[in-house]
Chains A and B, each alone.
Chain A
């Protein structure tokens, strides 16, 4: 894929914001791929964690926000645990989720959830799910 790099994108306001909200410095990442290799759900992501970080390094914020990766990330921290540079892809994807939810758009609605799940699931699953998916 051919992409055009521009300094204004790389240091753009949106990329700076996701770095600030996540507390992560994308430039630390040297693309070893350990995060994507260890991630149990990268197979279901449009863009795996290491490439999410690469796109942010290149200023492509919109590609990150369009991908399903942030909604698939379960926050298990295997990526962070195995990162030799101490970068947490999970924190970055949570920041992407937060930036989306803080605009007031929900990713899930309670009326769409199966009743069987709501009746039998441990409360922690429901509370956690709503905190991850609802503004």
Chain B
């Protein structure tokens, strides 16, 4: 079975465990395995936007050095980890002087031999969405699903390159492969407010509220995301506003379509469970 080295990151090891386990279980159903790096540390949760901040590159560089021992690719799920690791990797590959400076701060050396890919890219480019469809045993027929991308999965385009920054389709293509009805909504690449949840919750309520309203106006019955912070901000905002769209990780509904027992998918952790909707649609 194809084994791909995988970086879980802090949040997926704790508060977003259901994102991690549903992705791992789904992978096996599709004939591959994602395998935790034997040792890893936090990626730093933000890519330093100032090019002189080399210290900010050391944590993700350490992850990449560890990944290099495991193989030549590294996959991840959290949009922020993906952004930080992929952007750092590009800087270190393009700038040998920075690579050598960063290496001086680490016990291990990174040679620049790893490609960082998102789990969605693995499904699209390595497995293929047609193969994904073949593995589906519970098509999500008639479930109007809105894919919320946010920022970190897509931007900046020339570094991330997973899809078009303003008009991505990778998640909608996956949703189609699962038999669901993708809902394109205007705010799907807008920001949720991210870490401003820490000290400016009013901004987060406004931004996340815009995203939810935008999806709801287009008839979405469920929102999927690949970022634990987007998920947190959207759920919290909704808890205040009174609407009740389930906001889940894309791997949770992937697992559902692949026939996993819903009890293993972590929906009990969602403030707005999709189970009632799924029963109504006669999928459970």
Name A residues whose Cβ lies closer than 8 Å to a Cβ of B.
20-23, 40-41, 44, 72, 74-78, 80-81, 88, 90-91, 94-95, 98, 108, 112-113, 117, 120-129, 131-133
CB pair A113–B199 under 8 Å, yes or no, is yes
Is B37's beta carbon under 8 Å from chain A?
no
Give the distance in Å from the alpha carbon of A123 to the alpha carbon of B45 in the complex.
9
**Chain B residues whose CB sits within 8 angstroms of the CB of A121 once the complex forms:** 15, 197-198, 232
Q: With A72-B200, A128-B194 known to touch, is A77 a contact of B44 (CB < 8 Å)? A: no
Closest Cβ–Cβ distance, residue A15 to chain B (whole Å): 15
CB pair A90–B49 under 8 Å, yes or no, is yes
B45 CB contact (under 8 Å) in A78, A91, A128: A128
B50 CB contact (under 8 Å) in A23, A72, A80: A23
Summarize B's interface: helix, strand, loop or mixed.
Answer: loop
Is B190's beta carbon under 8 Å from chain A?
yes
Give the distance in Å from the alpha carbon of A122 to the alpha carbon of B234 in the complex.
13
Closest Cβ–Cβ distance, residue A124 to chain B (whole Å): 4
Summarize A's interface: helix, strand, loop or mixed.
Answer: helix
Contact with A along B125-142 (1 / 0, CB 8 A): 000000000000000000
CB pair B42–A123 under 8 Å, yes or no, is yes
Look across to chain B and name the residue whose beta carbon is closest to the beta carbon of A79.
Answer: B155
CB pair A131–B151 under 8 Å, yes or no, is no
Give the distance in Å from the alpha carbon of A41 to the alpha carbon of B203 in the complex.
7
A78 CB contact (under 8 Å) in B49, B56, B151: B151
**What are 15 A-B contacts with C-beta separation under 8 Å?**
A23-B51, A40-B191, A40-B207, A40-B210, A74-B191, A75-B194, A78-B191, A94-B49, A108-B198, A121-B232, A122-B229, A123-B15, A123-B45, A127-B45, A133-B198
Look across to chain B and name the residue whose beta carbon is closest to the beta carbon of A82.
Answer: B166
